[in-house]
């Protein structure tokens, strides 16, 4: 199957166009689920790029390449992998907070309020001056100008946005700023000698990854690296809000520890972990970690040869560079929910979210792709590397891939078949119980991806690295 989206990723790694032929892509073409956006093509492309980069690292280890295969339907299912989890045989709820959603505002416009995290929900309720009741929120939003509400929510440290059309976003200063950037940047930020890959029998054996990310996109990056053999230590703070089911979904293969980077002792522990790390993945807003001495340049001094993966919502340029954002926020402001609502009516009229978390998971896969390419460059030419990406850049890539013609958007199944889900799923014994979940998507001929550790509760482990395999 030809995949044009994959061809747009090859130049990022410096690969020739014929590399696309190394991946066998099978399964249906879009539409696979009810959305005009090409989520099947893009998910298969992102995961194929991961497979190619993993094959390159295996080649550096052994001199052998691998056969790579990706099923488009399975790749699409992975864009909502949290939807398919079971704990001890019972479904794990992935429902969003009932306050979260799109509300009619003044003058025919719509406003989205992101209310999944309690602090963001509190910010919205404070601005609107109401209690936690959806009908009360709807009445309050209806009295607001959508653009003014957007700014008020952001000023209150909340998250959300005014629903825009794609044309409006293309003309918005932040949309223009995002359009000026490449899809993904892999930049050398320091000199250091080339480094042989650690010993081991998997592509990423012995590679140590610090995962300082939250929600879905960043954690998916580290989960993807773990399925190819990396030792991943997730670092979060006990004081930070979290959504439990998401940690089950993105925690496969990881250790997890708590550190409070506001505390000098914990910050020193972090620096110690960095000195022995290979990849540092972070999802704080641009500049936040620099205040703690953990900028890309600082870490390249602490650990020459580091691969620093940096995720933000709206990129590091433009007036929204420091603004909070999530997949749903980017969908809202960039015209995706507007277009989805034009074609598919949900439980209520108006703008709609697509039926997966495409931007989140695509971003996670492409972060992992960037990290893998940077590790290969460190092996062959040395250096410290910065991989920089944002949800908005990946959202732009998704939109630029085009849309399924409206004539084909009829009678599309909303679910995968039980037989497919059974074939794609596995069970893990975790400290929380027996977790049923989707397995890895990419198929490799010599090193089939798998997670050597199961998901654990946040803060379950000590902040120390496991021994590298001998």
pLDDT per residue over 99-150, tens digit each? 888 999 999 999 999 988 888 899 999 989 999 899 999 999 999 999 999 9
Find the helix or strand (DSSP H, E) in which 231 lies.
Answer: strand 231-236
**pLDDT beyond 70 at 2:** no
Percent of the residues in the chain that have a pLDDT greater than 90, as a whole number: 87
d(CA 373, CA 385): 10
| pTM of the predicted model as reported, rounded to 2 decimal places | 0.97
**pLDDT beyond 80 at 319:** yes
d(CA 115, CA 120): 5
> From edge to edge, which strands make up the β-sheet containing 110-113?
101-104, 110-113, 160-162
Task: Give residue 469's pLDDT.
Answer: 63
Average model confidence (pLDDT) across the chain: 94
CA distances from 233 to 42, 175, 210, 400 (A): 28, 34, 5, 35
**Burial annotation 153-176 (CB, 10 A radius, 16+ → b, else e):** bbebebbbbbbbeeeebbebebbe
Task: Give residue 1's pLDDT.
Answer: 59
Q: How far is CA 201 from the centre of its chain?
A: 27
Mean pLDDT of 152-168: 95
Task: Give residue 235's pLDDT.
Answer: 96
Q: What is the pLDDT of residues 280-299, one digit of tens each?
A: 999 988 888 888 999 999 99
Task: Give residue 290's pLDDT.
Answer: 84
């Amino acid at each position: 199957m030809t995949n044009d989206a994959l061809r747009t990723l090859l130049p990022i790694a410096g690969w020739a166009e014929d590399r696309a032929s190394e991946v066998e892509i099978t399964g249906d073409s879009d539409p696979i689920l009810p959305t005009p956006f090409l989520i099947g093509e893009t998910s298969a492309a992102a995961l194929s790029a991961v497979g190619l980069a993993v094959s390159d690292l295996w080649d550096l280890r052994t001199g052998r390449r691998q056969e790579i295969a990706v099923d488009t339907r399975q790749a699409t299912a992975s864009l909502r992998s949290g939807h398919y989890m079971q704990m001890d045989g019972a479904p794990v709820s992935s429902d969003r907070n009932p306050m979260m959603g799109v509300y009619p505002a003044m003058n025919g416009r719509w406003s989205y309020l992101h209310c999944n995290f309690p602090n963001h929900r509190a910010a919205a309720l404070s601005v609107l001056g109401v209690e936690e009741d959806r009908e009360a929120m709807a009445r309050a939003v209806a009295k607001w100008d959508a653009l003014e509400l957007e700014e008020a929510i952001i000023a209150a440290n909340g998250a959300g946005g005014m629903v825009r059309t794609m044309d409006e976003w293309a003309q918005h200063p932040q949309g223009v700023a995002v359009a000026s950037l490449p899809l993904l940047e892999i930049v050398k930020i320091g000199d250091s000698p080339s480094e042989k890959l650690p010993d081991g029998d998997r592509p990423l054996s012995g590679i140590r990854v610090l995962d300082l990310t939250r929600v879905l996109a960043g954690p998916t990056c580290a989960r993807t690296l773990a399925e190819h053999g990396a030792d991943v230590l997730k670092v979060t703070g006990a004081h930070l809000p979290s959504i439990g089911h998401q940690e089950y979904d993105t925690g496969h293969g990881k250790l997890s520890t708590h550190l409070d980077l506001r505390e000098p002792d914990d910050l020193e522990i972090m620096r110690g972990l960095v000195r022995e790390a290979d990849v540092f993945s972070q999802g704080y807003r641009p500049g936040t970690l620099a205040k703690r001495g953990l900028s890309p340049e600082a870490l390249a001094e602490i650990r020459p040869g580091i691969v620093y993966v940096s995720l933000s919502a709206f990129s590091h340029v433009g007036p929204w560079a420091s603004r909070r954002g999530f997949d749903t926020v980017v969908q809202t402001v960039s015209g995706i929910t507007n277009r989805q609502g034009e074609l598919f009516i949900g439980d209520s009229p108006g703008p709609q979210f697509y039926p997966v978390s495409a931007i989140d998971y695509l971003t996670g896969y492409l972060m992992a792709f960037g990290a893998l390419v940077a590790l290969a460059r460190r092996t062959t030419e040395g250096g410290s590397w910065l991989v920089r990406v944002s949800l908005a850049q990946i959202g732009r890539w998704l939109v630029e891939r085009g849309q399924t013609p409206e004539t084909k958007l009829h009678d599309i199944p909303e679910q995968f078949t039980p037989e497919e889900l059974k074939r794609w799923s596995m069970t893990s014994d975790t400290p929380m119980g027996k977790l049923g979940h989707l397995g890895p998507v990419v198929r490799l001929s010599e090193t089939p991806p798998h997670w050597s550790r199961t998901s654990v509760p946040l803060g379950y482990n000590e902040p120390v690295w496991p021994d590298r395999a001998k």
